[in-house]
Amino acid sequence: MCGHAFSPHGNKTSYQRHGISFARNGYAALLLDSIQVAETFALHHGVYNQDLYDWYARGYTPAGVEVWNAIRAIDYLETRREIDADRIGMTGRSGGAAITWFTAAVDPRVQAAVPVMGIRTYAANVKDNTQRRHYDCMFPLNSWMHDLLHQGALVFPRPSRMAHGRQDLLFPVPGYEESAARAAALYQAAGRGKDFEHIVADTGHADSDYLREQAIRWFDKHLLQVTGRRLDMDYSNAPEAELAVFGGHPPTDARNYLVHETFTARFPRVEGELTDVLKHKVFRAFPASPPPLHLTRAPQPPFEELAFDTEAGIRVRGLLRAAAKREEKRPALLHIASDGDDAKSLSDWFALLSGQAALAFYPRGVDEIGWPRSFWKDVLRNAMHVGRTVDSMRLWDVLRAVAVLRTEPGVDPNRIMVSGRGAAAGLALYAALLDARVPQVLLLDPPSSHTEGPIFLNVLRYTDLPDVAARLAPRRVNFYGRIPAAYGSRPHYFLTMQVAAVLEGRHDHAFASRY
C-alpha cells in the first residue's frame, strides 16, 4: 500500500522498489495506487483543504475507499493460480501503513501485517494537533468513540510488526509507543508474544531500506516459515510511464472523482424512534449527565447577560430580555445566535415580541466575532477524533440553554419556541427532536440538507433535515418568510412573518400586527 508521493502515473511508481524487492525474494507483489495520486483521480483531502465538510455528514472517509480497494485487490489475488490465498501479507508506509492497519483489522485473509510509520492514538494527535499534517484518508470517522489503537486488537492474533521513525513529526512518539505497548500486552496475555514486534528506527518520516528489509523478514517468518536467509535487496526502478496501466489515457467515463457521493449510501428512512438511533450512532459523545450550570448574571441594557457551563470547561453566554410580567407563565423564545449577531440586531429582532421572555444564545465559537476559519477547521477535525463535530457540540449547548430558559421567571417551561437562522435553524430542529418538551420551532432560511449544514458525523446515513422537520408532527414547524422546496408541504408546517403571534400559538394571518 503506497504512501503519498506524486506522479501522474500513480504513486505506485514511487514505491516500485518495494514490489521489486518482494519479487526478487520469492513473493508476488501487488502495488495499489491511492485514489488521490492515481491515473484516475479522486480526493484524499476534502475536509483537509477543499471545504467538503459534508464528508462528515455523509459518513464518508477516503480511508473507506482505500480499504475497499485493498479488499478487492485480495479478491483478485485469490483468482490467480500462482497465489497461495492462505499466505497473503500486507504492508505499506505512511498512508499505506494506515490502510494496512485498517484492512488487516477488517479482512481476516490478511495473515500478516507490517504497517510502517502510520500508527498513533487520537489522544496524541489531538494534543499535538497533528491533523493539520494529515489528509482525511488517515482517519475513520470516530462516531463510535474508539481509539486507533483498538484496530490493533482486531488484527490480533495474526502476526503484526509495527515500525516507526523516532524523528517522525507526523506520528508523535507517545502515540505510537502507547499503541505498541497495548498491542504487545494483548499478544503477551494470549501467549502470542512472538507474533508482535515494534521497530523504531532513528529516522524521520522517510522511506527506509532497513525497514523495507524488515518487512520481508517478517513475512519470511510467518508466511514462508524461514528465518535468517540472505535477501537480495538490489533494485532498479523502471521509467514511471512504463508502469502506467492506462498508458496515459484513463477511461473518460470514470466516476472515481465522485466516489465521495456514491460510496456511502443513504440508509432507508429509519422507521420508529429516530432519536434512539441518533443518540447511539450520531450523538454518542453527548455528556452522559449534564454538569451544574453555574449560572451568573450581569446587566447589559437592554438585556441581562447570562453565562453558564454547558459541560466541564465550556462556558457560554446569552442575552436575556426578561418577560414584561414576570409573575405570569407565558411562552418564551430561545434564539440561537449566528456569527455577527450583536446586541443591536438582536434587540431589533426581539422588538417583534409582545412582552414574552427571549434569550439570544451564543453556542461555543459563535459571537459577534466568531472563530477564525482556520481555528474552526482545526476544532472540527480534532472533534471528529473524539466522536464530535463543532455543530454537535453546539447542539448540546442549545439543549442546555433551553434548560436555562425554563428556569426563568415568567416563562412557561413547556412553551419554549427555538429559532435560528441558516445552520442554526438546523440546530433548532434537532433541539426539538431531542427534547420533546419543545412545542415548536421557527426556522429562518434553513438549509435544505445536511450537505449545507449543520454537520453531524454520519447523520446522512440515517436522516436529513426535511425528514427531521416532518417527524416533529404534530408539533409546529414555522418557517419565517419562505418554505424551501425540499421541505414540501405538511399540515404542521406554517409560514409566518409574525413572531409574537406564533409564539402564543396563533397560526393564522387573520389579524393586524402592531407598529
Tell me if residue 334 falls in helix, strand or coil.
strand
pLDDT at residue 274 in the model: 93
Domain membership flag for residue 436: yes
Domain holding 385: CATH number?
Answer: 3.40.50.1820
Domain membership flag for residue 6: no
Could you identify the residue written with the cell 415548536? 440
Say if CB 35 and CB 44 are below 8 A apart: yes
State the cell numbers at 343. 446586541
CA torsion through residues 421, 455, 288, 132, sign: negative
Domain membership flag for residue 213: yes
Pairing of strands 440-444, 411-421: parallel
Examine the domain organization and report whether 209 and 283 are in the same domain.
Answer: no
Domain membership flag for residue 174: yes
pLDDT in tens, 230-250: 999 999 999 999 999 998 888
Examine the domain organization and report whether 309 and 214 are in the same domain.
Answer: no
- Residue 515 clears pLDDT 60, i.e. is over it: no
Examine the domain organization and report whether 220 and 339 are in the same domain.
Answer: no
Question: Cis peptide leading into 302, omega within 30 of 0?
Answer: yes
pLDDT at residue 268 in the model: 73
Domain membership flag for residue 308: yes
When pLDDT is averaged across residues 132-152 and rounded to a whole number, the result is 90
Say if CB 299 and CB 305 are below 8 A apart: yes
Residue that finishes a domain, picked among 227, 262, 297: 262
* CA 156 centroid distance within chain: 26
Examine the domain organization and report whether 298 and 230 are in the same domain.
Answer: no
Examine the domain organization and report whether 280 and 224 are in the same domain.
Answer: no
Examine the domain organization and report whether 479 and 340 are in the same domain.
Answer: yes
Tell me if residue 406 falls in helix, strand or coil.
helix
Examine the domain organization and report whether 384 and 250 are in the same domain.
Answer: no
Examine the domain organization and report whether 113 and 185 are in the same domain.
Answer: yes
Helix 274-281, helix 423-434: angle, nearest 10? 110
When pLDDT is averaged across residues 441-468 and rounded to a whole number, the result is 97
When pLDDT is averaged across residues 118-126 and rounded to a whole number, the result is 90
Q: What is the mean pLDDT of the chain?
A: 94
Assign 272 a pLDDT band (cuts: 50, 70, 90): confident
Q: Which amino acid is at 430?
A: Y
Show the CA angle centred on residue 271, arms to residues 270 and 274, nearest 5°. Answer: 60
Domain that holds residue 320: 274-503
In this structure, of 16-25, 96-105, 261-270, the range with the lowest mean pLDDT score is 261-270
Examine the domain organization and report whether 47 and 172 are in the same domain.
Answer: yes
pLDDT in tens, 35-48: 999 999 899 999 99
In this structure, of 89-103, 209-223, 475-489, 496-510, the range with the lowest mean pLDDT score is 496-510
Residue that finishes a domain, picked among 212, 237, 262: 262
pLDDT at residue 167 in the model: 93
Phi-psi region of 5 (alpha: psi -120 to 50; beta: other; left: phi over 0): beta
State the burial class of residue 491 (Cβ atoms within 10 Å of its Cβ: 0-12, 13-18, 19+): exposed
Examine the domain organization and report whether 257 and 281 are in the same domain.
Answer: no
Examine the domain organization and report whether 214 and 330 are in the same domain.
Answer: no
When pLDDT is averaged across residues 97-108 and rounded to a whole number, the result is 96
Name the β-bridge partners of 441.
418, 477
Assign 511 a pLDDT band (cuts: 50, 70, 90): confident
Domain membership flag for residue 418: yes
Q: Which amino acid is at 441?
A: V
pLDDT in tens, 393-452: 999 999 999 999 999 999 999 999 999 999 999 999 999 999 999 999 999 999 999 999
Domain membership flag for residue 401: yes
Examine the domain organization and report whether 88 and 167 are in the same domain.
Answer: yes
pLDDT at residue 327 in the model: 86
State the cell numbers at 21. 524487492
Of 56, 62, 60, 58, nearest to 33 (Cα)? 62
Domain membership flag for residue 269: no
Residue that finishes a domain, picked among 242, 262, 282: 262
The total domain count for the chain is 2
Distance CA 391, CA 395 (A): 6
* CA 353 centroid distance within chain: 39
pLDDT in tens, 178-222: 999 999 999 999 999 999 999 999 999 998 899 999 999 999 999
Assign 264 a pLDDT band (cuts: 50, 70, 90): confident
